[in-house]
């Protein structure tokens, strides 16, 4: 794994973050591809219904990404939010055997995908708050290394145990990985996370000789839209068609 400098966060925080990324690898996607296998082989669903249910869950997860990022940016209890999301994803997946009809299954998986939208920005923010801007790139690479290792471990364990005891064993594996991820999150010291730094503000390792022009206050969503999507911002400010400039061909 990539070595981080001693100043880039405490050893305990980095080890806890390593373990969190490893065990969340299986939790963050819920049942993932095993959902289709379970619905096909155990619940006897047809392929079209499986595809629609998984598409709904994926769409909800995409929609939830922006509010999830805003939540992580606004809260100082980032570890608690990640832990709650891990619990929600696991609960939604473990309740699946109780349902056999389309609507409850689609709703449970949609809620799981919505909760899982927290993991990406949450882990990135915690990483930045621990190691700072200088070591952030290496820390993210280390996160992905442990994430892929966790995926490989979970896939191997799921394949071996499902071969021995059937496809329903993936629910028990998910519960075990979720419990381990919750324990790993709690090993990250709260005091090791600089909340301002986690929001992309000052770096505690810098001399802070170049403060932000707004005095260190993070910009809101309106400013983010204005800077990153001027056309969207202008459209939002001009609801009336008369406010739009006339095309060149209408001016002649």
Domain match, 116 and 238 both: no
Per-residue pLDDT of 189-238, as tens digits, reads 989 999 888 887 765 444 444 445 454 555 555 555 555 566 555 555 55
Whether pLDDT at 75 is above 80? yes
pLDDT in tens, 30-68: 787 788 888 988 889 999 999 999 999 999 999 999 999
- Cα gap 183→25, rounded to integer Å: 14
Q: Is residue 203 part of a domain?
A: no
Alpha helices in 166-229 (DSSP H): 169-186, 195-198, 221-228
Evaluate whether 27 touches 180 at the Cβ level (below 8 Å): no
30's tokens: 């819920």
pLDDT in tens, 107-141: 999 999 999 999 999 999 999 999 988 899 999 99
* Other beta carbons less than 10 A from residue 200's beta carbon: 16
Residue 118, domain member (yes or no)? yes
**What is the number of domains present in the chain?**
2
Q: Whole-model pTM?
A: 0.78
- Structure confidence at residue 82 as a pLDDT band (50, 70, 90): very high
Q: CA–CA separation, 131 vs 111, rounded Å?
A: 32
pLDDT at position 8 is 52
Residue 101 domain-assigned (yes or no):
yes
228 lies in the same domain as 154: no
pLDDT of residue 1: 44
Are residues 40 and 122 both part of a single domain?
A: yes
**What is the distance between the terminal CA atoms of the chain, rounded to a whole angstrom?**
65
- At a CB cut-off of 8 Å and minimum separation 6, what does 208 contact? 202
CATH at 116: 1.20.1250.20
Percent with pLDDT over 70 in the chain: 76
Q: Which domain holds residue 163?
A: 11-198
Clarify whether residues 30 and 126 are in a common domain: yes
């Amino acid at each position: 794994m990539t070595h981080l400098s001693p100043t880039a966060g405490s050893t305990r925080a980095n080890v806890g973050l390593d373990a969190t990324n490893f065990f969340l690898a299986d939790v963050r996607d819920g049942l993932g591809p095993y959902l289709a296998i379970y619905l096909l082989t155990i619940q006897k669903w047809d392929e079209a219904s499986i595809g629609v249910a998984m598409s709904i869950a994926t769409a909800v997860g995409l929609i939830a990404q922006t509010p999830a990022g805003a939540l992580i940016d606004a809260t100082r209890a980032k570890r608690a939010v990640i832990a709650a999301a891990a619990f929600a994803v696991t609960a939604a997946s473990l309740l699946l055997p109780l349902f056999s009809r389309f609507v409850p299954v689609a709703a449970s998986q949609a809620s799981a995908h919505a909760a899982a939208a927290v993991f990406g920005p949450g882990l990135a923010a915690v990483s930045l708050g621990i190691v700072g801007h200088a070591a952030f790139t290496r820390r993210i690479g280390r996160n992905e290394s442990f994430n892929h290792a966790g995926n490989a471990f979970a896939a191997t364990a799921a394949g071996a145990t499902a071969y021995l005891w059937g496809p329903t064993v993936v629910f028990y594996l998910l519960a075990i990985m979720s419990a381990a991820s919750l324990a790993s999150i709690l090993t990250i010291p709260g005091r090791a996370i600089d909340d301002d730094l986690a929001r992309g503000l000052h770096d505690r390792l810098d001399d802070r000789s170049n403060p932000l022009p707004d005095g260190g206050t993070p910009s809101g969503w309106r400013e983010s839209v204005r800077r990153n999507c001027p056309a969207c911002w202008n459209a939002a400010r001009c609801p009336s068609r008369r406010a739009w400039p006339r095309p060149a061909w209408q001016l002649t």
